[in-house]
Amino acid sequence: MSNSFAPFSIAETASSATNHSSLPFLSEFLDLVVKDNAAVNCLAFYAFGTQRRSQESCVIFSPLARIVSLVAAIAISTTSGASWPHRNGQKARVRFLATSTLVRGTWGRSEDTCLAEVTFTSESDPLLVRLVDSYPNEAPPISGAALTSTSGTTFWLRRSTDCDRPYREMVLRTEPGDPQAILHERLSYQPQLARTHEPNQALPCYRTVRP
């Protein structure tokens, strides 16, 4: 049975990748499925736009082309995400006012909800918000220093209308940074607000954007 060959070019999909940190990973994967060092180097360097001449190309089996294309896309996506971790968020100054609910477990994701004041620019007034911090179970929560800072801490936030709630539905359990917030006991805490908030007024919800 004769094997069909197809020219394989991923320069167009990878031309924007300027960070070559994923190059060893791609080259290592290719080495497992391509027993030709020249082809491995050609494909790996082509994927990250480092080919010496634009007219150079690689030719490999068609089924393998699909596999390599997928791996290259994953590697480039990972590199791009690491370079711009906050591309979907807004930079803001956050001052925490109260801890609402803490969802922790031995698997899955953790989710901490707080009442906070958010300032997006130095000229804007603070905005009272429901702040949700969702993160992998193995990652640390927001530090106590950030939770208790009176001047606020810089975070990247993303607006999320699906978690908006009326102020009256916001369960406030402890002051920010209180270790008792993790306990299952019924707790209650009322922070000092700069101005009165109507019980039925909706609190806009923002989610933290972690690196």
Question: What string of DSSP letters covers 39-77?
Answer: HHHHHHHHHTT--SSTT--EEEEHHHHHHHHHHHHHHHH
Same domain, residue pair 129 and 183: yes
Say whether both 74 and 120 belong to one domain.
Answer: no
**208 φ/ψ angles, rounded to the nearest 5 degrees:** -70, 145
Structure confidence at residue 196 (pLDDT): 80
Which of these three, 83, 107, 130, is where a domain ends? 83
Q: Are residues 108 and 64 in the same domain?
A: no
Last residue of a domain, one of 83, 114, 149: 83
Domain span including residue 37: 5-83
**Residues 109 and 202 placed together within one structural domain of the fold:** yes
Answer with the one of 43, 66, 83 that is the final residue of a domain: 83
Task: Note whether 108 and 186 are same-domain residues.
Answer: yes
3-state secondary structure of 175: coil
Residues 52 and 103 in one domain: no
Tokens found for residue 159: 């607006």
Q: Tokens standing for 88?
A: 């979907």
CA dihedral defined by 157, 161, 132, 195, rounded to 10 degrees?
A: 90
pLDDT of residue 186: 86
Same domain for 153 and 168: yes
Write down the pLDDT at residue 37. 53
For residue 121 the two structure tokens come to 């620019």
User: What was the pLDDT predicted at 81?
Assistant: 44
Same domain, 161 and 119: yes
Do both 9 and 113 map to the same domain?
no
Cβ-Cβ contacts under 8 Å for 147 (sequence gap 6 or more): 96, 99, 114, 176, 177
Confirm if 107 and 179 have CB atoms less than 8 A apart: no
Tens-digit pLDDT string for the chain (211 aa): 544 434 433 333 333 333 444 444 444 444 444 444 555 455 444 444 444 444 444 454 455 545 555 554 554 444 444 444 456 789 999 999 999 999 987 788 999 999 999 999 888 899 999 999 999 999 999 999 999 999 999 999 999 999 999 999 999 999 999 999 998 888 999 998 888 888 899 999 999 999 8
- pLDDT in the model for residue 48: 47
Tally of domains within the chain: 2
